[in-house]
């Protein structure tokens, strides 16, 4: 069983106030927190650039022992980021929470998670990586 989302965030060094903010925001979006997983955090000047970075950088890399692969046609099929992001939210339960920015910061921290929620009520397709090298548009999780 995976640690709770709060424990996952605490393990990433996030302070309790920010963890409370993330959990409250996800509750507002009707995430089932007991099955929601931390994917990545991104520093960016704004939400659009954070989503772009998440899609281009983190969807090709590992998230704390978990990997995600997309069919190369996925990004080609979406002309704009809004369309790609909408599909990730609706079909994979991926969400993004912006943390407060300190006055001396130039970049804002964004936390990305995946879990069942109002837009994606079923648990996202989290499949164990079977060593298959083909890409899919399903979440592939490594043990």
pTM here? 0.77
Phi, psi of 86 (to 5 degrees): -60, -45
Q: What is the DSSP letter of 61?
A: S
pLDDT tens-digit readout, 29-40: 999 999 998 988
pLDDT tens-digit readout, 65-116: 555 555 556 656 655 677 778 888 888 899 999 999 988 999 999 999 999 9
pLDDT tens-digit readout, 112-132: 999 999 988 877 665 434 444
Q: What is the 3-state secondary structure (H, E, C) of 76-132?
A: HHCCCHHHHHHHHHHHHCEEEEECCCCCCCCCEEEEEEECCCCCCCCCCCEEECCCC
The pLDDT, as a whole number, for residue 129 is: 42
């Amino acid at each position: 069983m995976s640690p709770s989302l709060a424990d996952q965030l605490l393990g990433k060094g996030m302070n309790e106030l920010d963890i409370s903010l993330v959990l409250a925001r996800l509750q507002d979006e009707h995430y089932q927190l007991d099955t929601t997983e931390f994917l990545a955090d991104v520093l960016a000047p704004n939400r659009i650039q954070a989503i772009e970075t998440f899609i281009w950088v983190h969807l090709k890399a590992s998230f704390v022992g978990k990997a995600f692969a997309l069919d190369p046609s996925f990004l080609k099929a979406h002309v704009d980021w809004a369309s790609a992001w909408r599909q990730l939210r609706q079909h994979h339960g991926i969400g993004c929470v912006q943390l407060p920015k300190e006055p001396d910061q130039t970049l804002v921290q964004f936390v990305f998670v995946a879990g069942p929620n109002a837009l994606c009520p079923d648990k996202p397709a989290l499949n164990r990586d079977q060593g298959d090298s083909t890409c899919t548009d399903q979440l592939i999780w490594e043990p």
